[in-house]
Structure 1
């Protein structure tokens, strides 16, 4: 028993271990209970008789003395014993409670008011408090708050350490002597949530201690002057550098601090912002000076912790909101904006390119390092925005307003001149990297509606969203419409001035997120892609000039050096933009998003039932598409912006040029909805009035070809073209491809506008390539023959048949192309003769460069017209032969 009691803390209530053993023996025998609760007068007599007697003898006498007298019957004594037992138990429980809190104080806070402690412990002795509460030498709940506050004010806690030998000081717990306030309180909070808590401490007492820790942390942040020698904001950041603590501890600790502010302050958000502004400012400044590789990743964990709490999330969003929300560039100068600006692209329009600095020697070897960093940023920023959106209803509204204002204030990025201004971009707008990252975050938010098309989540999107224009913030909150300026966008079909477009009363988050993601792609991915294509054209021209100048060897070396420097500069830009666009995870998200868009658009285009009686315009059910399409055209198409289609066209063209394997990796299920979308809108002028946009859908068909004869490098893929070949042979609506192509081909000529031939031919060039491929498949060749037969039988019709108009335009184009090709070849011959004769060598350097550039440009134009003429005449030969065979019954 002695060994058992030696480690029991309650032995301290007795004089020695032996006394505790005798106490337990008497309790077990029942004698002590009778002895303790005899009448007070009788106990005094016993005490007087036992004076001068040894303890052992006194105990023997007391146990042998009878406990009953004439005044106390057994029944009364039993009742008295029960009452006294209850009273004794409460007294013992109070002593145990005091001991449990004292032990809790030592384990959690590392301080004491008892100067005598076990030699194995290192504790801080609170001398001032010990003298105040003497003779009590333990800490209870009444004095714990005072004790903790005194401990926090100690500038050098190690000087108050008990058992302070050299060896013990080296082995002491760093938490006990911690000087940093926030670090110390957070460690106390962690320990309070650990198994170190004594089992005899009640749950409500633990909760009270927890609130005490949080209250002191809130006080420190609210009144940092109390700890002026400490940098509290750095202490908060340093907490997250140590990843040993579970994320729940960080979240609960800082959420608890924010709740303390809510209880104590009338305007908690403003006070919280003032308290945490130094931390957020430090993070923003540090990120602004870092790049995508060197920035501190723990900052994202800090922001995620803030985003979970409604109050701290509001602080984060308020800190990241510029004073002038209409100035797009200012969003990049906020905390969230500085993180979104982290990319392999410059943070500002005129900023430097930090990667791919030696493109001629080591081209494109840094992408492997850039892609994981880009993916990490987008995934973690998605978590931050997701937490903000689900934290509270009000914070969700404020977050959507932030996103909508950011997109609207940067709408100038979508202007035509932006993509062609390579040096400046849009100075008043955010960078390409910012908008690409924001688009990726929104794609993450859209992923639940895109990952599984069979669960009909995509049908929850209301097509009339973009027709709504709200008056104020309250209406935006009520109706769920935060985007601005979409009501002025060009839509798929026009509407008369006296007509009103259909709108719903309210819109869901799914609808808002869908259109926000498309708007971000329109302002980000599309603009960056156009810039990349222009850079590639310039790099190609510079490469030709550089090679020719090197081969001639007669030009001055400084000219060669100048061209080389420009070539390296443009290639650095190309590789940087391409790396940002080819990030694998973003590509995967975009594939799913565009497939979901294709499915939804096709459903909207065929959903025209009971429009006047509907309060919501989401597609009611998943309809099976059949051709010919219904004659009734849904008026909801007048609310769908054209940039939804343009985003899909641009994405497929990008995949064809830079990553064709993605088309095969996604399989037939990805390709089939895309082709259905192309056929529905390309072949139906009533559902898409813009002939230029319908013509651009031919680029989608070209991108879906399994091979590309004119540019085989664009279609090389280790996956081959199996699924793309299946698309043209097994798609349920494949017989509509030929007719839709001819309708678009002829429709370009019937725009009613003055359109230059070069522009029309740029639209028709991919159509020639697709027709060339279709002619090799017997089933599609039969479609051409059927159209030729219809033309032959309706030669005298008032409205010429589609095939007859197509042949006529094809011959006109062939004549024009041949004439332009010969004209440019003649100019090219004259320029070649002048260069070979040495005339250019006598000109200044800059004029020599201009002549070389003009020579290369003329050669490219001549080659373009000549190759186009060959492609066109091959198609013309096929189709004329088709008509001849049909005429001669061949």
Structure 2
């Protein structure tokens, strides 16, 4: 009878009307011609009657329920029965209409959907009706924006999405490729889903669902838009997660889905190339692939959460990550990887933590099969590599572009030239792009999930660096053994790159969310301590250098953090028990970024070292004293082994540190002089005589000079401060005043002080010191404090006086006057006394040198021109030089200065005969 009702053409002529209007909902339901709408309305009425029906009617209602479900299944599987109706189209329309009316469809129709799918599962289903559903969804969803109600309805409610695990055919249609006549030929339904994004990915679309008319939005409006975007993305990612999870529940569908993910990543492998993003124009749009892989990353991270550490747990004792197999990536290159349940391919070709040695490479024992946990973990990281990494590159670039666009817009307003509205439109579109991207990336749910995921990554990588045992947690002991575990030769670097990208961005843009997971901070610091300064665990010095930026955001540095943040992070850092080792890692990294054999990255090494200064200062001041103890031990070792073939760690650090200090100061003074010249020309009216474009260019050049001078002034201040507190320690003083270093230290201090208080200081007097971050009084105070801390031995004072380049008799009196002006009275008195002492020792040394002026030429060092005290013979060139001279040279260049042959201190041959002749000659004088 029900079937007969559904195929009737003229229902109105048959329906009997009693006491109701033809405009009522009951009449509309009774005369409905759409079979799907009629069945859904009948089901709704049935559900409404059931709670109030007497028990004797319940069996009848149950039969009616079964009849409705069976009829709906029949209409889906054999749509040709209803020639006048497109059943799939009707199903979509009904669900959407009910949702738009506010009906809680998932609660009301959940039992119905489940029974429909079970019945379909029992039939020998042809794929034709299923593919019809798929093609309909593709056509419609391809036109939906992420915020559209239609899209949310499809993802949440269409039975083929929600209950796919009950049927392989239903699940597999998501990975089936489309036909040529479909939009985006060759793409599957999953691909269409993943393309939906809150990012601006199409520059040709006139509008974007979020942050439209940005110029009219106040801050509160921007925040509301951000919240709306994040709410849409939360729902969308939640639905995608359910869809993926349900497909994965069926073994055969799991294989298809994981293989599909591998194909997707392989086809878009170019997204991992940095140049792909550096040459893009993010002011117009981001890449479609950015949205795809952000969505996929979110889904894969959600699937990973069951084996991720929870912030409520003690991260140190969490062992869920032990099921991640570190040999997985190596297995992706095996011919039998499918038999091993490995569906991703090509990860073995990625750059790994360590390069395999050509001779006797370590052998890795692969597993027979690999679990889903390992596959999900590495797939998520690969997805981050293809999505988040490039998106952040473009986001940082867009920030810079917006700053320039703003200047162009203000210039156009000031000059009144045509095109001002066009400039404004371009700026607003770029700003909407920026805000959409930021809101997408630091969605609170996404960030919290990623924090747990990357904390688990840190635990995993720390364990792998310590041991090859995966059965239990390894005790965290430092320092590490010399021999690295074999899996490190096969784990891709992008795992660390992803983690660092996340930590740096979070600290830079949204540090408050990091505070919510502060229990993970010791976990992240432990990872950094293991890899940052250890070449035996990670070879790439550039990648290790980025750890310093991440560490800077984790430590309680008081420069730009709130008091509450500092206190919380102090508490977190107190749980880290290896700050002494971490201090040594900082010194190691400072050195390693110097020797990269990449001359094109000369400037980059300074950016890599910049975070190390505040980190070292924090470790030095740590109340536990482990940082100071580490420096003390390194200083003692350096003095004891100062002439060893391999220069001691702290000696190499000090040498490079001095090089940087001189370079920073020289560059800062150079740019300060350029700024002064440009400002004088501007103030004297010379710019007014220039054409508008040239005048504008002059302004940009001046701004560039100011920015560059600011960087070098900040770095100069950092180096002076570091040397100031390090030189307080007696062991460090002994090293700095050693004959190998004392001349360099004295020359550097004299050079800097002459710049600050000498005759050249007038070239530094720009209009506004603060714009250039130039603090001359504090620099003078810092330099003078170093002088006062190193003056206790005659060696240093004599070296200061013998500096023929920068030392002048009035150098310290000038510094004395500056210290008086800033009320540094105690230090000024020390400098006054030091000045007298240096003058006295200098005169005495000068008198002695005059006595030796007629010494034989062979007694003088051929490089420095000074009388040799400890002559040595260079083994390859057979030249004789003073030991201190060649020792200073070897710190920076381990070769013979005469023929470039390799040379170490241990290869030097003492010229005892010449030394005796010099001593005898001195006695006879």
Distance of aligned partners of 1:824 and 1:178 in 2 relative to their CA distance in 1, 3 Å threshold? same
Residue matched to 1:459: 322
How far off its partner does 1:679 sit?
Answer: 0.5
Query: CA separation in 1, counterparts of 2:160 and 2:481?
Result: 53
How far off its partner does 1:291 sit?
Answer: 4.3
Residue matched to 1:598: 458
Deviations 1:688-741 (Å, cap 9, x if unpaired)? 1111111111112111122353xx2xx348x42222123444421122111010
Query: CA separation in 1, counterparts of 2:647 and 2:108?
Result: 76
Q: 1:155 aligns with which of 2, 5, 9?
A: 9
Query: CA separation in 2, counterparts of 1:330 and 1:468?
Result: 33
Residue matched to 2:76: 221
How far off its partner does 1:824 sit?
Answer: 3.5
How far off its partner does 1:800 sit?
Answer: 1.3
Q: 1:367 aligns with which of 216, 226, 230?
A: 226
Query: CA separation in 1, counterparts of 2:228 and 2:29?
Result: 39
How far off its partner does 1:781 sit?
Answer: 2.6
Residue matched to 1:629: 480
SS at match of 2:173: helix
Q: Which has the larger radius of gyration?
A: 1
Residue matched to 1:587: 447
How far off its partner does 1:277 sit?
Answer: 3.6
Residue matched to 1:483: 344
SS at match of 1:861: helix
Deviations 1:234-253 (Å, cap 9, x if unpaired)? 43124434364663764554
Residue matched to 1:380: 239
Residue matched to 1:694: 544
Q: Does 1:344 align with 2:211?
A: no
Query: CA separation in 1, counterparts of 2:677 and 2:330?
Result: 57
Distance of aligned partners of 1:398 and 1:735 in 2 relative to their CA distance in 1, 3 Å threshold? same
How far off its partner does 1:462 sit?
Answer: 0.3
Q: 2:660 aligns with which of 806, 810, 813?
A: 813
1:201-350 aligned within 5 A: 213-241=68-96, 242=98, 244=103, 247=106, 250=109, 253-254=112-113, 256-257=115-116, 265=124, 268=125, 270-277=127-134, 279-287=136-144, 290-292=145-147, 295-303=150-158, 306-310=161-165, 314-315=169-170, 317-319=172-174, 321-322=176-177, 335-348=189-202
Determine if contact 2:284/2:430 at 8 Å carries over to the other structure: no
Q: Does 1:506 align with 2:366?
A: no
Distance of aligned partners of 1:188 and 1:309 in 2 relative to their CA distance in 1, 3 Å threshold? farther
Distance of aligned partners of 1:311 and 1:841 in 2 relative to their CA distance in 1, 3 Å threshold? farther
SS at match of 1:640: coil
Q: 1:788 aligns with which of 628, 635, 640?
A: 635
Determine if contact 1:463/1:640 at 8 Å carries over to the other structure: yes
Determine if contact 1:304/1:387 at 8 Å carries over to the other structure: no
Query: CA separation in 1, counterparts of 2:283 and 2:176?
Result: 23
Determine if contact 1:292/1:343 at 8 Å carries over to the other structure: no
How far off its partner does 1:448 sit?
Answer: 0.9
Distance of aligned partners of 1:559 and 1:169 in 2 relative to their CA distance in 1, 3 Å threshold? closer
Distance of aligned partners of 1:833 and 1:547 in 2 relative to their CA distance in 1, 3 Å threshold? farther
Residue matched to 1:528: 391
Q: Does 1:519 align with 2:370?
A: no
Determine if contact 1:655/1:662 at 8 Å carries over to the other structure: yes
Query: CA separation in 2, counterparts of 1:245 and 1:549?
Result: 54
How far off its partner does 1:492 sit?
Answer: 0.8
Q: 1:721 aligns with which of 559, 566, 588?
A: 566
Query: CA separation in 2, counterparts of 1:750 and 1:299?
Result: 56
Q: 1:393 aligns with which of 230, 248, 251?
A: 251
Query: CA separation in 2, counterparts of 1:350 and 1:332?
Result: 23
Distance of aligned partners of 1:534 and 1:169 in 2 relative to their CA distance in 1, 3 Å threshold? closer
How far off its partner does 1:544 sit?
Answer: 5.8
Deviations 1:655-674 (Å, cap 9, x if unpaired)? 2211122232223x211111
SS at match of 1:413: helix
Distance of aligned partners of 1:850 and 1:305 in 2 relative to their CA distance in 1, 3 Å threshold? farther
How far off its partner does 1:398 sit?
Answer: 1.5
Residue matched to 2:530: 680
Determine if contact 2:199/2:291 at 8 Å carries over to the other structure: yes
Determine if contact 2:328/2:374 at 8 Å carries over to the other structure: yes
Alignment: residue pair count: 714
Distance of aligned partners of 1:198 and 1:861 in 2 relative to their CA distance in 1, 3 Å threshold? same
Give TM-score, length-normalised by structure 1: 0.72
Q: 1:607 aligns with which of 448, 454, 467?
A: 467
Distance of aligned partners of 1:330 and 1:675 in 2 relative to their CA distance in 1, 3 Å threshold? farther
Q: 1:435 aligns with which of 293, 299, 317?
A: 293
Determine if contact 1:432/1:524 at 8 Å carries over to the other structure: yes
How far off its partner does 1:526 sit?
Answer: 2.0
Query: CA separation in 1, counterparts of 2:201 and 2:410?
Result: 33
1:736-815 aligned within 5 A: 736-778=581-623, 779=625, 780-815=627-662
Distance of aligned partners of 1:149 and 1:228 in 2 relative to their CA distance in 1, 3 Å threshold? same
How far off its partner does 1:569 sit?
Answer: 4.2
Unaligned 5+ residue runs, structure 1? 1-146, 610-618
Q: 2:504 aligns with which of 653, 660, 664?
A: 653
Query: CA separation in 1, counterparts of 2:35 and 2:677?
Result: 82
1:532-571 aligned within 5 A: 532-543=395-406, 555-558=415-418, 567-571=427-431
How far off its partner does 1:395 sit?
Answer: 1.1
Residue matched to 2:848: none
Residue matched to 1:492: 353
Distance of aligned partners of 1:429 and 1:345 in 2 relative to their CA distance in 1, 3 Å threshold? closer
Deviations 1:332-357 (Å, cap 9, x if unpaired)? 96544444344431133665662334
Deviations 1:401-436 (Å, cap 9, x if unpaired)? 222222232222221123323427999963423322
Determine if contact 1:595/1:670 at 8 Å carries over to the other structure: yes
SS at match of 1:720: helix
Residue matched to 2:814: none
RMSD: 3.7
Q: 2:211 aligns with which of 356, 360, 366?
A: 356
Residue matched to 1:420: 278
Distance of aligned partners of 1:278 and 1:677 in 2 relative to their CA distance in 1, 3 Å threshold? closer
Give TM-score, length-normalised by structure 2: 0.70
Query: CA separation in 1, counterparts of 2:472 and 2:305?
Result: 21
Query: CA separation in 2, counterparts of 1:548 and 1:236?
Result: 57
How far off its partner does 1:631 sit?
Answer: 3.2
Unaligned 5+ residue runs, structure 2? 736-789, 794-925
Query: CA separation in 2, counterparts of 1:408 and 1:593?
Result: 23
Residue matched to 1:181: 35
Residue matched to 1:642: 493
Q: Does 1:703 align with 2:553?
A: yes
Deviations 1:593-645 (Å, cap 9, x if unpaired)? 11111111111111235xxxxxxxxx210111111223332101112111111
Query: CA separation in 1, counterparts of 2:19 and 2:271?
Result: 68
Query: CA separation in 2, counterparts of 1:838 and 1:295?
Result: 64
How far off its partner does 1:806 sit?
Answer: 0.3
Q: 1:404 aligns with which of 245, 251, 262?
A: 262
